[in-house]
Amino acid sequence: MTLTGRSRRRWRLIFWICAASATISAWFGYRVAMSAASQDPLFGAVTGVVTSLLITVPIVVFELQGQDLAVSRRLRRLPLSVYFAARVLLYVVVIVVGLALGRLLTDRESFRLAEIFESGGFTFSIAMAVIANAGIEIGRLLGFGTVVSLLSGRYARPRREQRAFLMIDMKGSTGFAERLGPERFLDLLNDFFRDVADGALECGAEIHKYVGDEAILTWRLAGPTVDSDMLACPFVIRDRIEEQQDAYRRHYGSAPGFRAALHCGEIVTGQIGDVRREIAFVGDTLNVAARLLDAARETGNDVLVSDELLSRAALPAGILSRSLPTLEVRGREARLAIAALDRP
């Protein structure tokens, strides 16, 4: 069975979180055993790893894989205090069961249930669960790639980079908002952006941000040629939306369409902001991509691409390019050569 980009990403996160948790738990078990003269430190480390996996795997799998379940969606709609209490209760149950199973598997003869709460393992497991889930929530909010870049200090100083951008704008969003009302329109945006994210993950794109009914996707370019997946990405997203058409019609009356614009060039990447910081892309490249998106509205073409990007990538199978009149871009002396992408 072929895994989707979303599934591959989730399982990578599950692996690295579980590996980090097992390493820290091994150290904790080793230190506890060292402080107790009657215990073997190596045995303590092994017990820490086994217990960590028994606790971390179900919690992390639920947090990352279980978000699509109907029960998870209903829980997220509850008041924050109730949602938080339900999650804490779930974690406590999993931690107690995991600690008990860990001791039974490694030291069945001397096992006592009270030891779970006396040895410090329960407090340590609760702290690890809280830290891991705080990290997952921050990663969901900012993007895991952004969190890694912030922690590693990659953009502590501004850096010049070559990047490609895909800007996506939902068609008819004003009409949807008027007909559905704000709450259901927000649900529509979430479903639409989920399909956009599926396409982005399949094509190796980072999701830079959502702005109203627009999404900005980006790729870091390593050389003069670029992956043809960038040109295919709008069509992968369109296929995903078409697969979900019945669900869209059932919930919202019709499925959304979109316009897209692709461009590449040099930008400066760095941290920006004071009270709230984020990684920002600054430069003419994004401005040109935004002008291309405007041109898509004006010309009636759903997908436009600059010749600068088109010349660096091979056209994916089944996709055709059609040259259009050059485009005037404010602030640029030379007109921009552009093309429309279509799939017969």
User: Are both 135 and 162 inside the same structural domain?
Assistant: no
Domain that holds residue 284: 154-342
CA atoms of 182 and 208, how far apart (whole Å) = 24
pLDDT digits (tens, 9 = 90+) for 165-190: 999 999 988 899 999 998 899 999 99
Instruction: Confirm whether 201 is domain-assigned.
Output: yes
Kindly report whether the global pTM for this prediction surpasses the value 0.85: no
| Single residue among 142, 167, 189 that ends a domain in this structure | 142
User: Are both 267 and 233 inside the same structural domain?
Assistant: yes
pLDDT digits (tens, 9 = 90+) for 64-97: 666 666 666 676 666 766 776 777 777 778 878 8
User: Are both 175 and 31 inside the same structural domain?
Assistant: no
Instruction: Confirm whether 218 is domain-assigned.
Output: yes
Q: What pLDDT is stored for residue 113 in this prediction?
A: 62
For range 36-42, the mean pLDDT: 69
Residues 37-45: contacts with CB within 8 Å, 24+ apart?
43/106
User: Are both 99 and 63 inside the same structural domain?
Assistant: yes
**Six-digit token pair at 51?**
């217990």
Determine the angle formed by the axes of helices 245-252 and 229-243, rounding to 10 degrees: 50
User: Are both 119 and 168 inside the same structural domain?
Assistant: no
User: Are both 208 and 290 inside the same structural domain?
Assistant: yes
pLDDT digits (tens, 9 = 90+) for 98-107: 877 877 777 6
Instruction: Confirm whether 257 is domain-assigned.
Output: yes
pLDDT at 118 over 80: no
CA atoms of 77 and 63, how far apart (whole Å) = 16
Query: Backbone phi, then psi, for 255, in 5-degree steps?
Result: -90, 145
CA atoms of 54 and 18, how far apart (whole Å) = 10
- Give the distance from CA 105 to its chain's centroid: 36
CA atoms of 121 and 28, how far apart (whole Å) = 9
Confidence band of 43 (pLDDT split at 50, 70, 90): confident
Confidence band of 260 (pLDDT split at 50, 70, 90): very high
**Six-digit token pair at 336?**
């921009």
User: Are both 73 and 174 inside the same structural domain?
Assistant: no
Cβ–Cβ under 8 Å, residues 60 and 17: yes
pLDDT digits (tens, 9 = 90+) for 280-326: 888 888 888 988 998 888 888 899 999 989 988 888 888 999 988 88
Strands 336-342, 214-220: pairing kind: unpaired
**Six-digit token pair at 15?**
């692996």
Determine the angle formed by the axes of helices 144-152 and 121-142, rounding to 10 degrees: 110
User: Are both 129 and 261 inside the same structural domain?
Assistant: no
| Single residue among 142, 172, 192 that ends a domain in this structure | 142
User: Are both 117 and 20 inside the same structural domain?
Assistant: yes
Identify the CATH number of the domain in which residue 183 sits: 3.30.70.1230
Confidence band of 15 (pLDDT split at 50, 70, 90): confident
Instruction: Confirm whether 119 is domain-assigned.
Output: yes
Q: What pLDDT is stored for residue 39 in this prediction?
A: 67
Q: H or E segment at 82?
A: helix 80-106
Task: Give the chain's length.
Answer: 344
| Single residue among 94, 119, 142 that ends a domain in this structure | 142
Instruction: Confirm whether 165 is domain-assigned.
Output: yes
Confidence band of 8 (pLDDT split at 50, 70, 90): confident
User: Are both 207 and 310 inside the same structural domain?
Assistant: yes
The closest alpha carbon to 49, from 111, 102, 122, 123, belongs to: 102
**Six-digit token pair at 116?**
């779970």
User: Are both 32 and 126 inside the same structural domain?
Assistant: yes
Instruction: Confirm whether 148 is domain-assigned.
Output: no
Instruction: Confirm whether 164 is domain-assigned.
Output: yes
User: Are both 183 and 133 inside the same structural domain?
Assistant: no
Instruction: Confirm whether 114 is domain-assigned.
Output: yes
Number of structural domains, the chain?
Answer: 2
**Six-digit token pair at 303?**
């997908």
